[in-house]
Copies of this chain bind each other. A is one copy, B any other.
Amino acid sequence: MTDPALIALDWGTTNVRAALLDGEGQVLEARKGESGVGSLDEAGFIARFGELTEGWPKLPAIACGMVGSRQGWSEAHYCELPLDVSQLAAKLHRTNHLTIVPGVMKDTLDQADVMRGEETQIAALLAENPAFDGTIVLPGTHSKWARIAKGKLVDFKTYMTGELFDAFAGHTILRHTVQPAELDADDNAFDVAVGDVFMTKGSDWGRFFNLRAAALVGETLPGQLREKLSGYLIGMELSSAAQDGFDVQAVTIIGGGALVERYTRALAVLAADVTPRESDTLIWPALFALAQQANMIGNET
């Protein structure tokens, strides 16, 4: 282990993670905090950054994520498709306090899409395997599907699955119906829901009220209804992704704990070949590699 050499931040809309890395990219210390994106002004961001890195030496800092959006600390521009990862390092956005990884934009006719943060995790996978070819999914509030061809990001699409689950379960009549409940470990309501949606190509918009009615007529257990709602929404994501040209039969999932498990289970319904990866093990090496390529890390000789 060597001396501290870089501060790396994964700075999203809700949370921010910070790590103090040594000259070989090893994590010396990691911290978490609230992100503030969308609510802080510049002075607020400087203060938040100070809290996060308190007691750490003054070092170059690199960040990815929504911190570089228009609602963030300082707007970093977008790269366009197809994207070679080396372009991310070439287009880093430099400010007085930190260097921000650019986002990626897709702006073909009526198919606009954007990502900020996920490109760095994808870059990490591509650094490990420069000839990667296939589909990467980053499930979450806004799930991202990425298509990689010969190590380049050639297409991606965002599905608002996590956020829609919260909106359906919290802000519609389904809120009476989909309360969390204990389930038998072998309950397969989620799997059946995913399969149903996939078979019908996600086209049945009446499924949602059906959950409410099933509760009223006492047809289904409450815990199953929540699992069904989750299965419907993730099933619609899988179905759309397949129709959007993503290979859903061989998928690498990047994410954290329960969400990776849930998507792995959903993809198992399609008999897909799934490679799960924890984002924690990818994000710091990726930011370290980008900082290295941009000569942000001092050469200790």
A residues bordering B, Cβ < 8 Å?
A: 70, 105-107, 110-114, 142, 157-161, 163-164, 166-168, 170-173, 201-206, 208-210, 213-214, 216-217, 219, 236-237, 239-240, 243-244
**Are B167 and A204 in contact, CB atoms less than 8 angstroms apart?**
no
Given contacts A163-B173, A164-B172, A168-B167, contact A157 B206 (CB under 8 A): yes
Subset of 23 A-B contacts with CB under 8 Å: A105-B217, A110-B219, A112-B214, A112-B219, A113-B213, A114-B213, A114-B216, A114-B217, A158-B209, A158-B210, A158-B213, A160-B208, A161-B205, A163-B172, A164-B168, A164-B172, A166-B171, A167-B171, A201-B201, A202-B205, A204-B240, A204-B243, A205-B240
**Are A209 and B113 in contact, CB atoms less than 8 angstroms apart?**
yes
Q: Which 6 A-B pairs have the closest CB atoms?
A: A205-B240, A112-B213, A158-B209, A167-B167, A205-B236, A112-B214
Give CA–CA (A205, B113) in the complex, Å: 13
- Pick from B113, B158, B209: contact of A159, CB under 8 Å: B209
**Are A112 and B160 in contact, CB atoms less than 8 angstroms apart?**
no
The A interface, classified by DSSP as helix, strand, loop or mixed, is mixed
Give CA–CA (A142, B168) in the complex, Å: 13
Give CA–CA (A202, B70) in the complex, Å: 32
- CB A113 to nearest CB in B, in angstroms, measures 5
Give CA–CA (A34, B168) in the complex, Å: 25
**Are A111 and B167 in contact, CB atoms less than 8 angstroms apart?**
no
- CB A117 to nearest CB in B, in angstroms, measures 15
Q: Which of A110, A158, A206, A244 has the most CB of B within 10 A?
A: A206
Give CA–CA (A201, B240) in the complex, Å: 11
Give CA–CA (A158, B206) in the complex, Å: 6
Question: Given the complex, which residues of B lie within 8 Å of A213, measured CB to CB?
Answer: 105-106, 112-114, 158
Given contacts A113-B209, A159-B208, 5 further A-B contacts (CB under 8 A): A110-B214, A142-B173, A160-B172, A163-B173, A201-B203
Given contacts A216-B112, A217-B105, contact A173 B158 (CB under 8 A): no
Question: Given the complex, which residues of B lie within 8 Å of A70, measured CB to CB?
Answer: 216
Give CA–CA (A166, B172) in the complex, Å: 9
Give CA–CA (A208, B162) in the complex, Å: 13
**Are A170 and B171 in contact, CB atoms less than 8 angstroms apart?**
yes
Give CA–CA (A270, B203) in the complex, Å: 17
